[in-house]
Each structure stands twice: as C-alpha cells, then as structure tokens.
Amino acid sequence: MRVSIRSEQAPQLPADHVDRPVDEPTNPRLSVSGWARWAWRQLTSMRTALVLLLLLAVAAIPGSLIPQRSSDPNGVIQFDKTNPGWMWAVDLLQLHDVFGSVWFSAIYLLLFASLIGCVIPRIRHHLTALLAPPPATPRNLSRLPAHTRRVLPDTPPGAVLDAAEKALRRQRYRTRRVRGDDGRDSVAAERGYLRETGNLLFHVALLAVLVVVGVGGGFRFTGQRVLVEGQTFASTRIAYDSFTAGRFITDTQIPTFSLTLDRFRVDYVLDNVNALGMPKTFDAQVTTTTGGTRQASSIRVNEPLSVAGTDIYLLGNGYAPTLTVRNPAGKIVFRDTVPFLPQDANLTSLGIVKVPDGLAEQVGLVGMLYPTRATTASGAFASSYPDLLDPVVTFNVYVGDLGLNTGVPVSVYALDTSTLTQIAGRGTPTPALQLVPGTPVPLPDGLGTIELGPIPRFASLEIAADPTQTPTLIAAVAAMAGLALSLFVPRRRLWVRTTTGRDGGTVLEVAGLARGDDPRLQPTVDTLATRLTPTPTPLRGGSDDPVP
C-alpha cells in the first residue's frame, strides 16, 4: 500500500494485513438491496475511481481538439463551415460543449459520487482513530517492517520505558503504556494523524470546489461592451453588446454606473529592432460615475478596475474609423465610428458598414483598414506598423437587401453578401474604394460619397461579477494544503518493549510500522533505540545521558 488517498483495506488494518480470498466457493443469492449494495461498493472502490479518473482525462481531450463554444466561438463557426459532413456527430456528441456535455458530466458526477461514498466512511473511521489510544503492541516485533534490538546490561526495564515514553511524547507521538498477556511491558506510540486528516481535507475541498462552481454559476454575470474613445455607456442589461447572467441574477442586481472611455493609450517598443512596433502598454483611461461620484482611473490587461461590485477587464482594442456617407445632394445619411476588428499584429483590420436608408439602394461595405500603408509585391495593400502613420481604408461595395428588416438579429460585424450585388472591388470592373482621412470619395453608380474622418481607438471591455471567486480560491487552497499534508506527513506507529534477558540484562526492542511511503521509518527506529541506549562510560560509572 503506497498512498492512502484511498485504501482498499479498512484504515485501521496494518499495511501487511492480507485480505481473505475474495471469491467464495458458492456465491450467495443477492436480493435487490443486495445488488444495490454491491453496485455501490463497486462504485466506491478504488479501482472504479481510478478508471473514472483516467476516463475523465481522456474525455477532456476532444475539448482541446474541437473548438468549444465557451472558449472559442469564432473557431466553432469556422469548424462548422469547413466540416459540414461531421455536423451530425458534433451535434449528437455535443462536441462543441464537451465540458457541459451529458457524457462528460456523467463521468465527473460518477467520480464525485464514488468519492463521497469513499470519504464518508473514512471520516467516520478517522474520527474513531483520533479518539482511540495507539493500538497494543504486537506479540512479535521482529516481524514489522522496521525493527531493532539492543541489550542494555545495567538499565532497569521500567526506566527505559519511561525514557522512551518521554522521548516519544516530545516528538509529538501519542503514547500508551501496554502490559501484554505474557507480562511483558511496552510502550505503544502513534503519530501523523494529520496525514489522513489532510487526505480527507483534500477530497472534501475538491467536492467544495465542484459545488461552489456548480451552484455559484447562477450568481455570476458577464457583459461585453465595445467602447470608442469619447463614448460613454451606462450599465443596464440592454447597453451591453452581449450579456450572460446566471439564473439568480435579476435586472435590479446589475449595478448601475456609467463609464466613459476618455482615451486609449498604446505605447510601442521603439528601442528594440527585434520588437519594433510591439505594444508595450495598453491603457484605457476611463471616467466612471457611480451614485453621483465621478472618478478617473485606468484599466490595463492585468489590472482590472473594480466599480460598484463588478470588475471591468480590458480584453481587446483596435481602431474605429469615423465614416460619413452623403447622398448625391450632399445630405449626411450615415455618420458613425465603426469598430474594425484587428486581423494581425500590425492591426490590419476588418470592418463592416451598413447604410440601410437615405441612398437609392441599401448599401453594404466591407472595409480593410491599414494603419500604416505598405504595398506588397503583388500590389495589394498591407500594414507595416500598428500605429496610424499613413492610414488607408479600402472598401468593397455591395448593394441590395441588407436583411435588416427580417426580424432576425444580425451581427454588426458580419455582412451576408449572398443576397447582395457587388459593384466595386475585386471581381468587378470598378476597383475597390480607397479612402484617406479628409477626402470624400464617390460611391459607384452615383450613389453618393463616403468620407474617412478621424480614426479613434476602441477598447473591448468585459464587465463581470463573480461571487464564487473567493470561496473557490479558499477551497482550492485548502485542497492543496490537504494534499501536501497527505503526501508528506508520515503516519507512523512505534513500539518499544523491554524484557529481561537470560543474563539478567534488559533487552530493548524498537519496531515501527508506517502507513504509506515512509523513507524515514527505519532511521527513526534506529535513532530512538540509540537514544535509549546509554553511552558506555565503563570507568566513571556515571553518565550524562538522561536515561539512568
């Protein structure tokens, strides 16, 4: 028996205990409750727990190979597009939600059921053991895994046992004086109850993590919001671009505050040729208003801002060019800052503009922003630096029904071009529009003009409240503490017995037994025996040794 995370044997049995043969000659007939008990015993056996653990590890693998809705929604869309033939399997096996799937849940719920079934009787056992005195001295100490024997010619047996008891108590052993049936006196001692305590703490704390995360999900909410420099948003459910809340969260629990993105500052590396243009700092400088109090603060990647019981995290950023569309008469039909989503490290960014009203037709534009224009060998644009040194925006132009009136929600970051007609850009006679700040460019077919204005930055923020964080952390730390105790505290029983030898001298026997792996068992036994053996000082007769 090595670790005692679980023991197939009752905890009170010594490590060298051998079970009776399991297979009886005739199997007894089992009643329904008998079968239930059999099933429960199977479930709570160590072997089952081990198999479930390994199954859990294997079951988690598909969650890393196939994009998950929770961690990689864009990957999910991409995967479904490229593997349409596999959709039936993906849907059937919930492969985009592996960690919430029926089969994954079944494994960990069985595992935890098995754990509960194992831990409860062990807690009972351990409580008994904590109250019980150390077990009586075995008849034959030399059979134990660690054993030593010394002959002490001049020392009375009782004095040796007194000294042994004292020394063991000082080393925080629980001791007990035993008189055997045969009249031989001994000291029984045990230490390391913390090993089992830690082990149980570990398993109970893991259960606590599961419960806190499972139940606590209902009290959690997160909302995302893209905010362009200069914009303000007031926290209400509808103000978020996306919002996820647990079932116990009502609208009144969403804290009310407003937040203005004053400036988004980015510092670039300028003094290292290998990292030129790499961002050094992202700093969202914001003003928050809660209950009439205004406060300026800043949000950085590893430094969220706490406002009104929520934390605000900086998740991303990019450019939001100001675009103005006018009809042929010069009247403004569209004017907004449009967040463009970054596609690479030099912030080549993709943006969608939809102009539903005011022109002869509905117009959709798919644009690319190059913050610092560079031209590749093939003549295409690229961005060579992430800052706005020489910005240019190109647009492919589409006309037709933008699909905004069907009642189906449509992403502002996507344009379904299947129902539209392209009138400018690659694949059409008209080249893509090229815009630099301040110069209006005519739209094809005399539809009007489009003008690129200032290019502010946007920050993508996540607002989250998670009351489970602290309890989860406490449980996790408790689990780790318990684990350390259960792996490193030695659980040890020692016995010291004295007998009177044939020549009248005292024979000292020290023996030890450990639960689990214990590299220091034999050395401990030897050291104790040596301590109890007075150093021979033949001429003086006296000794400094505490043992008389």
Partner 1 sequence: MTPFLDALSLLLVYSTIAIYAAAFVAYTLHLARRASTPAVPVTARVPATAGATSTTDPDLAGTPTAPDTDTAPAAAAPGADGGAGKAARVGFALTVLGWVFHLAGVVLRGVAADRVPWANMFEFSLTGTALIIATFLAVSLRVRLAYLGSAVLGLTVLLLGVATVSFYVPVVPLMPALQSGWLVIHVLVALLATAFFGLAFLVSLTYLLTTRRRGLPSRLTRLRDSLPGPEDLDRLAYRLTIVGFILWTFTLIAGAIWAGRAWGRFWGWDVKEVWTFIIWVLYAGYLHATATRGWAGTRAAWLCIVGFAAVLFNFGVVNVFFTGLHSYSGL
**Phi, psi at residue 306, to the nearest 5°?**
-95, 120
Stretch that binds partner 1, among 35-43, 301-309, 375-383, 536-544 (CB under 8 A): 301-309
How far is Cα of residue 14 from the mean position of the Cα atoms in its chain? 38
Give the pair of three-digit tokens for residue 297.
């603060």
Residues 451/215, Cβ–Cβ less than 8 Å: no
- Residues numbered 245-284 forming contacts with partner 1, rule: CB under 8 A: 269, 272, 274-275, 278-282
| Residue 42 binding partner 1, by CB under 8 A | no
466 binds partner 1 (CB under 8 A): yes
3-state secondary structure of 502: coil
50 scored as a contact of partner 1 (CB under 8 A)? yes
Q: Decide: 491 and 499 in contact? Cβ < 8 Å.
A: no
User: What beta strand segments (E) does 170-321 contain?
Assistant: 174-179, 185-191, 221-228, 232-234, 242-245, 258-268, 279-290, 293-299, 305-307, 310-319
Count of CB atoms situated within 10 Å of the CB of 355? 22
Instruction: Determine, following the binding rule CB under 8 A, whether residue 477 of this chain makes contact with partner 1.
Output: yes
Binders of partner 1 in range 218-237 (CB under 8 A): 222
Which of 402, 483, 494, 514 touches partner 1 by CB under 8 A? 483
Regarding 315 and contact with partner 1 (CB under 8 A), the answer is: yes
Establish if 70 lies at the interface with partner 1 (CB under 8 A).
yes
Cβ-based nearer residue to partner 1, 205 or 450 = 205
d(CA 93, CA 98): 8
Q: Is 149 in the site for partner 1 (CB under 8 A)?
A: no
CA dist., res. 112 & res. 44, Å (int): 10
Measure the CA–CA gap between 105 and 117, rounded to whole angstroms.
18
Residue 495 interacts with partner 1 (CB under 8 A): yes or no: no
CA distance 363 to 401: 8
Which one of 68-76, 158-166, 351-359, 420-428 is the stretch in contact with partner 1 (CB under 8 A)? Answer: 68-76
Q: Are the C-beta atoms of residues 90 and 96 closer than 8 Å to each other?
A: yes
Choose, by CB under 8 A, the member of 473, 537, 546, 548 that binds partner 1.
473
Question: Which residue, 7 or 362, is less far from partner 1 as judged by CB?
Answer: 7
Q: Which residue in 59, 92, 94, 58 sits closest to 76, CA to CA?
A: 94
Task: Show the tokens assigned to 537.
Answer: 């000082």
Q: What are the backbone dihedrals phi and psi of residue 177, each rounded to the nearest 5 degrees, phi first?
A: -85, 130
| Part in contact with partner 1 (CB under 8 A); list of ranges 227-235, 324-332, 388-396, 466-474 | 466-474
Q: How far is the CB of 67 from partner 1 (least distance, A)?
A: 9
Site residues for partner 1, 7-36, by CB under 8 A, read: 7-8
To the nearest whole angstrom, how small is the minimum distance from the Cβ of residue 283 to partner 1?
Answer: 9
Residues contacting residue 516 through CB under 8 Å, at least 6 positions apart: 1, 2, 3, 4, 195, 490, 491
Q: Which of 285, 297, 469, 533 is in the footprint of partner 1 by CB under 8 A?
A: 469
Residues 523-542 that bind partner 1 (CB under 8 A): 523, 526
Asked whether position 474 contacts partner 1 by CB under 8 A, the answer is no
Q: Which is nearer to partner 1, 113 or 213 (CB)?
A: 213
Q: How far is the CB of 305 from partner 1 (least distance, A)?
A: 11
Is the Cβ of residue 200 or residue 402 nearer to partner 1 in the bound state? 200
Q: What does R_g of the chain's alpha carbons equal in angstroms?
A: 38
Nearest to 535 by CA among 150, 221, 227: 150
Which CB, 22 or 377, lies closer to partner 1?
22
Contact flag: residue 130 with partner 1 (CB under 8 A):
no
Distances in Å between the Cα of 21 and the Cα atoms of 25, 188, 313, 338, 491 are 10, 31, 61, 76, 28
The binding site for partner 1 (CB under 8 A) comprises 1-8, 46-47, 49-50, 53-54, 56-57, 60-61, 63-64, 68, 70-72, 75, 98-99, 213, 222, 269, 272, 274-275, 278-282, 300-304, 311, 313, 315, 462, 464, 466, 469, 472-473, 476-477, 479-480, 483-484, 487-488, 516-517, 519-520, 522-523, 526
